[in-house]
Amino acid sequence: MPRFILSRAAAAGIDPNRLAREAGMPTWLLADDNARVPSEFYPRLWELLEHEVGDQDTTLRMVGGYRVGALGLFDYLISTADTLGEGLAVVGPYVGSVSTNFRMDPGEQTETESTFNLYMINAEGRGRDLSVQSSLGILVSRIRQVTGRPVDPVSVAFRQNAPQRHDAFTEHFGTARVDFGAPVDSMTYRLSDFDLPQVTADPMLAAVLRRYAASMPPPPPHATEWPDRVAAGLEHELREGEPALDQVARRLFTSPRTLQRRLAESGTTWSMEVDRARKRHLEQLDAADARATESQFADPDRE
């Protein structure tokens, strides 16, 4: 995904190597086409590219040049399916083949429409906004290409604040129903669109690719599972000593303030999670001591 940004930068006459260096990407990552790039580089590159071009619509204009195949295995998993619905069905299970920082889940369903919700784990601010724009923008471009038809979504919703103008959004997505300040990033299509055949279908290749993709990293946890992620971080910190908010936040690639906000959105707090973690830690220690005692008395050779 970062290489897609760099390729679009090069097409716009911007030095991709310089952009990568400014983002902090090691040079060896650029030389290895099979390397998995840390997730923080993706939103950072979009931010740098927008600043370089000086246009708030840079991301949408850049994804307008997307062509199926640019994202490798992930694109081919979708494009080789028989119908659009079957192709979209592989997005959730196999998104880990292209990124472990995104998750796409089914949203609200009606008798005539279906919504996909997009969740991004490790990103905040403008970089997150641009990353979501790119992901949904690429998805709609891919749908038009694999069906060979000008299929437009019914509506698109973004968590980001409304920009000063959004003509680029309505132009790219093909719908006037573009909402901002939404509780979740999402896109809605007509159910009838899912029956459309894909001009890129290849059932035999699809079967091979899915077997291969099954060995790739799984999708990240849902955005509302922050307490579970914090629990894992606290477990590690408690083994080392007293847990600290900034240490756990750093382990989860976020800021202390954002971490506290995520926990509040999940109906809990930092102090509550620390108390729960301490209780679990003590229970684990007690259980370990009990097993050690049982083992000692069960061994006849032990004095």
Return the domain boundaries, the chain.
2-213, 226-298
Residues 6+ apart with CB under 8 A from 225: 266
Dump pLDDT digits (tens) for 64-102: 888 998 888 889 989 999 999 888 887 767 777 777 788
* Strand-by-strand arrangement of the 155-157 sheet: 102-109, 113-120, 185-190, 155-157, 178-179
Query: Which ranges of the chain have pLDDT less than 50?
Result: 220-224, 302-303
- What is residue 295's predicted lDDT score, i.e. its pLDDT? 61
List pLDDT tens digits, range 243-293: 888 888 776 666 788 788 878 777 678 888 888 888 888 877 777 666 666
Task: Give the CATH fold of the 2-213 domain.
Answer: H-NOX domain (3.90.1520)
pTM: 0.69
Distance between CA atoms of 61 and 168, rounded to whole angstroms?
8
Structure tokens at 99: 């990124």
